């Protein structure tokens, strides 16, 4: 059985950003993959939603060791995290 | 008995209104249903004052509403009830000890003069012209004549009793209520920095895996720095036709909150490092309500006003907290003003449209549902309470009552 191709970073960023916009945070105009999620209101409540979104939406498991402030700083960081987990699974 | 000003509700808005009214020289009665003042900041264990400061900039925290709000906060810190403001992204908050809020309010009421406080008292009736209010305490009724009334009850109970016009958002849009409880015996390192985020992720996974009820999703922890004490906040969903003025719904919320708290406490104890000896130290006296009735006033503070940072000639307070929408239990959605400019709150928004002697302060002032998500916070309630209390006192004692009168009276009291 073949694994599906691993999406590139740009498309991951796009999908994560869209999901955050739609389901988690009311982000300001001009918010992009490099913007600070904490400044946009990411707190521990929103982070729970985000973990579920990544795990259910992208089929990855984010281990405890990867749950840290730096990894959730921006959509770009999250895309890296997801791609790394997908690569490990593949 | 008769008074110049009767204040319904002793939360941040009501205590500010009553103390300010009394300081202005009006004979004032403060009526509170619980055994302590402080409202949500005491009874519901809300443990931070939001809206006290300007949006965070390059300099340190700046008072949004110098006056009663800054005085209360300064004394809270001086009395050991708060370690001082903390920056959280674009905002400053003042974490506080709920017990200190009740203590400080007692001290300030005691020093005010002209002010009687009746705890354990509910308002059960008002005369049609609002010149008389009936209270009840444990089956004993008492009638009080009042020249002006300030509804600082949070739920607009005077509006309800007087048949005054009010708005209330539909159930699916009402801000969700919060259940806050205390844990003790938590190791200091267990909830700090990345550990808090790891706990959040574990709760999310436990909910997804069926190990915790769905309602636990969104639980957040804040350590107090006081001997292994942590507050846990859970946003509740409530019934689909949720109405915060319906007894059955409030009952269901209390039961749901305690049940979730018990499950979470067990989860923390058995599966979270640093929590193995933790135990529930305190349940709130009541669930924390964020939104219910909003008065139809002489001006409705609109969503666009808060977004644009509108200014008004009759401004008596400022709303510096972002619109913090909590229409689901999935966490807050914050909407900041477009240009970082806070909105004025006009005195007209603190006056009922249809009753000349009725003032409204706190979370039930005249505003849109979204604007309420900004003005409802306790720091702003202190400021709207002060303004409504002064306006009511000035009007009741024949000394004017326009916004300019309120501002000069506030300045006079600050100087004295």
Q: What is the CATH number of the domain that holds A26?
A: 1.10.1200.10
**Contact at CB, B334 and A38, closer than 8 angstroms:** no
CB nearest A44 (choices: B90, B221, B330): B221
Q: B222 — contact with chain A (CB < 8 Å)? A: no
CB nearest A48 (choices: B218, B332, B335): B218
**Contact at CB, B199 and A44, closer than 8 angstroms:** yes
**Contact at CB, A69 and B235, closer than 8 angstroms:** no
**Does residue A16 lie within any of the structural domains?**
yes
pLDDT tens digits for range B94-129: 999 999 999 999 999 999 999 999 999 999 999 999
Is the ipTM value over 0.85, yes or no? Answer: no
**Does residue A21 lie within any of the structural domains?**
yes
Spatial separation of the C-alpha atoms in residues A21 and B36, rounded to whole Å: 42
The residue among A21, A37, A41 with the most chain B CBs within 10 A of its CB, best to mutate, is A41
Domains held by chain A: number: 1
First to last CA, chain B: 29
Closest approach of chain B CAs to the CA of A12, in angstroms?
21
Which ranges of chain B have pLDDT less than 70? 329-331
Q: Which residues of B touch A67 (CB under 8 A)?
A: 194, 197-198, 200-201
Spatial separation of the C-alpha atoms in residues B232 and B221, rounded to whole Å: 5
Q: What is the pLDDT of residue B327?
A: 85
Q: Which residues of A touch B219 (CB under 8 A)?
A: 45
Spatial separation of the C-alpha atoms in residues B384 and B171, rounded to whole Å: 26
- pTM of the full structure: 0.93
The residue among A48, A49, A69, A77 with the most chain B CBs within 10 A of its CB, best to mutate, is A48
pLDDT tens digits for range B339-381: 889 999 999 999 999 999 999 999 999 999 999 999 999 999 9
Compute CA distances A72 → A35, B259, B340, B347, whole Å.
11, 31, 25, 43
Q: What is the mean pLDDT of residues A47-65?
A: 87
Q: Which residues of A touch B194 (CB under 8 A)?
A: 67-69
Model confidence at A27, pLDDT cuts 50, 70, 90, reads confident
Spatial separation of the C-alpha atoms in residues B326 and A87, rounded to whole Å: 36
User: Is residue A88 scored above 80 in pLDDT?
Assistant: no
Classify the phi-psi angles of B166: left when phi > 0, otherwise alpha if psi is within -120 to 50, otherwise beta: beta
User: Is residue A1 scored above 60 in pLDDT?
Assistant: no
Q: What is the pLDDT of residue A3?
A: 65
Q: What is the pLDDT of residue B69?
A: 98
**Does residue A17 lie within any of the structural domains?**
yes
**Contact at CB, B218 and A68, closer than 8 angstroms:** no
Closest approach of chain B CAs to the CA of A48, in angstroms?
5
**Does residue A22 lie within any of the structural domains?**
yes
Per DSSP bridges, beta strands B140-151 and B132-137 are antiparallel
User: Is residue A89 scored above 70 in pLDDT?
Assistant: no
**Does residue A83 lie within any of the structural domains?**
yes
Model confidence at A2, pLDDT cuts 50, 70, 90, reads low
Compute CA distances B69 → A35, B94, B117, whole Å.
34, 12, 20
Spatial separation of the C-alpha atoms in residues B248 and B239, rounded to whole Å: 10
Spatial separation of the C-alpha atoms in residues B51 and B41, rounded to whole Å: 13
**Does residue A72 lie within any of the structural domains?**
yes
Q: What is the pLDDT of residue A56?
A: 86
Spatial separation of the C-alpha atoms in residues B214 and B14, rounded to whole Å: 36
**Does residue A43 lie within any of the structural domains?**
yes
Contact B213, B263 (CB under 8 A): yes
Q: B198 — contact with chain A (CB < 8 Å)? A: yes
CB pairs under 8 A between A and B: 79
**Does residue A4 lie within any of the structural domains?**
no
Per the document, the length of chain A is 90
- Residue A36, judged by CB atoms within 10 A of its CB (0-12, 13-18, 19+), counts as exposed
Which structural domain, as residue segments, surrounds residue A82?
Answer: 9-89
Contact B38, B105 (CB under 8 A): yes
Q: What is the pLDDT of residue A45?
A: 76
Write out the two tokens for B128: 């049609």
How far, rounded to the nearest angstrom, does the alpha carbon of residue B320 sit from its chain's CA centroid?
Answer: 15
Q: What is the pLDDT of residue B193?
A: 77
User: Is residue A90 scored above 70 in pLDDT?
Assistant: no
């Amino acid at each position: 059985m073949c694994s599906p191709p691993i999406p590139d970073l740009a498309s991951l960023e796009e999908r994560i950003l869209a999901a955050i916009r739609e389901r988690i945070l009311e982000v300001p105009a001009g918010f992009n993959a490099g913007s600070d999620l904490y400044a946009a209101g990411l707190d521990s409540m929103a982070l729970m939603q985000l973990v579920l979104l990544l795990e259910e939406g992208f089929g990855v498991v984010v281990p405890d060791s990867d749950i840290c402030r730096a990894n959730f700083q921006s959509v770009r960081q999250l895309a890296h995290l997801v791609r790394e987990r997908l690569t490990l699974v593949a | 008995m008769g008074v110049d000003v009767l204040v319904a509700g002793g939360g941040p808005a009501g205590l500010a209104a009553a103390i300010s009214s009394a300081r202005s020289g009006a004979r004032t009665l403060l009526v509170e249903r619980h055994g302590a003042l402080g409202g949500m900041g005491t009874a519901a264990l809300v443990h931070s004052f939001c809206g006290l400061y300007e949006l965070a900039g390059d300099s340190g925290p700046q008072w949004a509403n110098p006056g009663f709000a800054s005085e209360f906060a300064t004394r809270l810190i001086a009395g050991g009830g708060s370690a001082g403001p903390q920056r959280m992204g674009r905002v400053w908050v003042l974490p506080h000890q709920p017990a200190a809020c009740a203590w400080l309010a007692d001290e300030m009421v005691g020093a005010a003069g002209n002010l009687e406080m009746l705890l354990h008292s509910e308002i059960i009736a008002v005369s049609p012209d609002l010149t008389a209010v009936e209270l009840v305490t444990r089956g004993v009724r008492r009638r009080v004549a009042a020249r002006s009334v300030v509804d600082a009850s949070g739920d607009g109970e005077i509006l309800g009793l007087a048949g005054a016009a009010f708005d209330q958002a539909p159930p699916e849009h009402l801000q969700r209520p919060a259940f806050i409880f205390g844990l003790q015996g938590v190791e200091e390192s267990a909830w700090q920095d990345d550990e808090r985020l790891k706990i959040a992720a574990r709760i999310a996974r436990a909910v997804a895996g069926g190990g915790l009820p769905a309602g636990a999703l969104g639980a957040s922890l804040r350590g107090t720095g006081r001997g292994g004490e942590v507050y846990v906040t859970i946003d509740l969903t409530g019934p689909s036709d949720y109405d915060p003025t319906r007894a059955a719904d409030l009952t269901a919320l209390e039961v749901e909150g305690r049940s979730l708290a018990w499950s979470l406490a067990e989860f923390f104890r058995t599966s979270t490092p640093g929590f193995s000896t933790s135990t529930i130290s305190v349940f709130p006296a009541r669930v924390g309500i964020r939104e219910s009735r909003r008065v139809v006033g002489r001006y409705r503070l609109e969503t666009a006003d808060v977004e644009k940072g509108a200014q008004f000639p009759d401004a008596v307070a400022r709303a510096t907290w972002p619109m913090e929408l909590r229409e689901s239990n999935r966490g807050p959605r914050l909407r900041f003003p477009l240009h970082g400019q806070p909105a004025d709150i006009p005195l007209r928004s603190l006056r009922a449209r249809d009753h000349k002697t009725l003032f409204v302060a706190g979370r039930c002032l005249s505003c849109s549902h979204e604007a309420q998500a900004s003005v409802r916070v306790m720091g702003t309630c202190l400021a709207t309470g002060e303004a409504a209390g002064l306006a009511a006192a000035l009007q009741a004692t024949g000394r004017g009552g326009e916004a300019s009168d309120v501002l000069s009276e506030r300045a006079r009291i600050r100087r004295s």
